Amino acid sequence: MMNRIIVAQGTELQLKRLVAQRKLYSRAKQILFYQIAVTVMLVVVWSLVVLVFPGVKVYAALWGLLAVALDFAIFAPLQTSLKAKAAGIQELFDCDVLVLPWQEIKAGSPPDTETVTEWSKLKAKESYDSLKLRNRYPVEVVHAPLPIARLICQRANCWWDAKLRRRYAVWVVGAIAGTFVFAALVGLLGEVSLEQFLLAAVMPFLPVFVIGIRQFTDQRQAASRLDDLKNHSERLWREALSATVAADELTRRSRTLQDEIFEQRRRNPLIPDWVYQKLRNEQEELMNRCAADLLTEARNVLCF
């Protein structure tokens, strides 16, 4: 008998929720882009300007300090608010699709219908298929018992996110190094004094360093937390296959695991959409293959 996960995730209501959470995350990522533009891109501009007009080196240094202040006062709070809304809608999707009760003490009140409707509007050329929103969870789980299928989906959530963040963290380090080398070369080629170099290259680079190191550290820490959750899901998986845990107990433990998945979504740093798009097909293929292997293992043990 089919479980409801695959059918439920393809309904109009759930697809609208996926659109809404994606667009909220995308808006938060737009703010991240503005943040990077104010810092990383303008570092390059200031370095070139100071090379031509050495007299503005003090303004370049002041800009570096101002960019850090804007980061903490405006950019970061806006991103936090949008991420919280997106995580709430994604949690609502998971609760319905994975058949888990809403945990108000953890997630607060469920997102209202107006918020979902406001953020789920499709543009003229957009569709659920063009946005690749169908089959969020592996279709292989369709004939598995619900507790087994649910665990596979929760494990896939943790694995997918952790791998994506580790790869992005490496790219962040490369971007930081490249930007600093560029600024340093501009200073050296311009034969500026140490004072000019500090003001024209190092001080404007300060916000790049702050944001970049924070991104790298946050992404790595998020990936480690997700690895812990994946390991926990695998312990639940072994217990489920041992047939020593009742279905109701597995549901309770899955709900506890879902609490932590929600918390990570709310706290996790953002990843640009282009990173997700670039790695999506490769990771989706791996996710489906892993789901198929887990189902084969479960069928051999539980004979369903």
Residue 32: pLDDT band (50, 70, 90) is confident
Please report, as a single letter, which amino acid is at residue 215: Q
Phi, psi of 272 (to 5 degrees): -55, 150
Question: Are 175 and 215 in contact, with CB atoms under 8 Å apart?
Answer: no
pLDDT for position 72: 83
Residue bearing the bigger pLDDT, 119 or 61: 119
What is the structure's pLDDT at 1?
A: 57
CA distances from 179 to 67, 91, 201, 204, 275 (A): 16, 38, 10, 11, 19
Closest to 25 in 3D by CA, of 74, 89, 68: 89
Average pLDDT score over residue span 142-152 = 91
Q: Say yes or no to pLDDT of 9 above 80.
A: yes
Domain locations in the chain as residue ranges: 5-302
What is the structure's pLDDT at 193? 67
Q: What is this structure's pTM?
A: 0.82
pLDDT score of 45:
75
Identify which has the larger pLDDT, 54 or 102: 102
Q: What is the pLDDT of residue 258?
A: 97
